[in-house]
Amino acid sequence: MKTDVIALCKDLIAIPSINPMGRDDLDPTLTGEARVNDYIRHFVKAAGVDIVVQRTDVPGRENVGGMIVKGSRFPTLVLQCHTDTLGVGDHPSLLKPAVCKGRLYGRGATDDKGGLAAMLVALAEAALHPARVRNNVIVLGVSDEEYKGKGSLALVAQPPTKGADFGLVGEPTECRIVNGFKGVARWDLVTTGRSVHSSMPQKGVSAIYRMARLVSLIEDYQRELAKIEDPPLGCETISVGRIVGGTAVNVVPDSCTIEIDQRITRKTRAADAPKRLAAYLRKRGMRFPVIPSAMKDVEDAVLIAASHPGISLLGRMCLAQGLNPRPCQVAYGSDAFRMNRGGIPTVLWGPGSIKVAHSNDEYVEIRQLEQAVIFYLELMQTDLQKAGVRMKYSPGSKNWARSHTANGKSSIRRRQ
């Protein structure tokens, strides 16, 4: 078993776990979390802690991790990182980890395999001194964060993580406490037209031309959203991230689709975002039909008070370790959305920077990787109850020991 966080992170990067995001035309040897999950299983077994498996409604794409059980009198702490990554495009070298000038490069180095490696190493270290561990500790590799969040939905619905007392998601925050995140609304808009041969376009109606006018109005709408400010989360934003239309160059297109991503403050309900945009478009005089899809993602903004005992505890830990103790807020989304909505107070704290996530130069600072191991281990060994993080969920010892396979959803495998 490797307990060197750099070596472990290299191993995880080299194991492809690209999220297919609904596509079926990708190389199956590169997609899905199954190979990383197998690696986590072997690591957890070698560490001598209980293996946790949570099934999602996507076959073969489970949450897998390890757990140190203290008993029903102790709070439950969940530390999780997602095991899926973005694709590598035309850069397969991203799956070949490399160290250069104090940085570890590769796909997932910062988002999110660096944090996962640090959590696993901390878990293995904690298992060597179980008497020092003051909580039920679960470290979980979570699936499908980059697309529909199926893994985090399983996390909040299934034991042993359901109803946990405190959660930490290892997204790249440069070792800062993140207690607030904008919400997100994602949906499609479709314009329609009438197809004719491209030699006589005047007899048809181009859905792409209509969409061009629509996209221009959405760009103007951004200026309206910028007026919606919510300190400390900032202002709202909107982005058109993808456009698809037409069937051939010699056919006037009768359909065009865009995908919209809007980031939401606490002043707006995420579910209302499509209606608000539609009202703006009508106000601007748009008369042709626009067809919205069902919402693809809808999460309201979250801000956990800085006075929350969990935030205060993390701040004291950061201060003691020479890190910035002040919580901050981010615009990007994560599994923390669903965990907070599911009743688990959850913050972000992890190595790496979101500025290089999803890029062809993705990396994590090695010093931050090593710092993360120290931080996660200390959190595992800190008494949450004594720190004021009250227990809301106290599963009996029988629940920890038995197999949760009766409903076909999750299981805990006791070490032998």
Q: What is the CATH number of the domain that holds 360?
A: 3.40.630.10
pLDDT for 394 equals 39
Is 196 within 8 Å of 252 (Cβ atoms)? Answer: yes
Q: Say how many domains are in the chain.
A: 2
Which residues make beta-bridge pairs with 363?
105
Examine the domain organization and report whether 37 and 163 are in the same domain. Answer: yes
Q: State the Cα–Cα distance between residues 184 and 310, nearest whole angstrom.
A: 25
3-class secondary structure, 189: strand
The C-alpha atoms of residue 82 and residue 118 are separated, in whole angstroms, by 13
Backbone angles phi and psi of 218, in degrees to 5: -65, -35
Report which DSSP code applies to 111. I
CATH number of the CATH domain containing 277: 3.30.70.360
| The two structure tokens encoding residue 346 | 């959850």
DSSP label at 247?
S
DSSP 135: S
Same domain for 219 and 79, yes or no, is no
For helices 34-47 and 114-128, angle between their N-to-C axes, nearest 10 degrees: 20
Provide block-wise average pLDDT over 10 residues at a time, the chain (416 residues): 89 98 92 98 97 94 97 96 96 97 98 98 97 97 95 97 97 98 96 98 98 98 95 95 97 98 96 97 95 95 94 98 97 94 96 97 98 98 93 40 35 49
Among the candidates 252, 275, 299, a domain finishes at: 299
Question: Which of 299, 319, 341 is at the close of a domain?
Answer: 299
Q: Are residues 151 and 259 in the same domain?
A: no
Contact 215, 247 (CB under 8 A): no
Domain end among 266, 284, 299: 299
Q: Tell me how far apart the alpha carbons of residues 164 and 150 are, in angstroms, rounded to a whole number.
A: 18
Domain span at 242: 183-299
Three-state secondary structure call for residue 171: coil
Is 220 in the same domain as 344?
no
Report residue 37 as tokens.
Answer: 């999950």
d(Cα 344, Cα 83) in Å, to the nearest integer? 20
Say what the pLDDT of residue 414 is.
Answer: 47
Residues in a beta bridge with 264: 183
pLDDT of residue 392: 55
Round to whole Å and give the CA distance between 400 and 49: 13
Does residue 173 share a domain with residue 222?
Answer: no
275 and 322 within one domain: no
Tokens 């913050």 belong to: 347
Distances, alpha carbon 267 to alpha carbons 183, 225, 275, 348, 360, in Å: 10, 11, 15, 22, 35
CB 369, CB 173: distance < 8 Å: no
Those residues whose C-beta lies under 8 Å from the C-beta of residue 158, and which sit 6 or more positions away, are 54, 404, 409, 410
Nearest CA among 207, 228, 221 for reference residue 277: 221
pTM metric for this prediction: 0.89
Claim to verify: residue 38 and residue 162 sit in the same structural domain? yes
User: Do 35 and 146 fall within a single domain?
Assistant: yes
Residues 317 and 290 in one domain: no
190 — phi, psi (to 5°)? -125, 130
Residues 146 and 188 in one domain: no
DSSP tag of 264: E
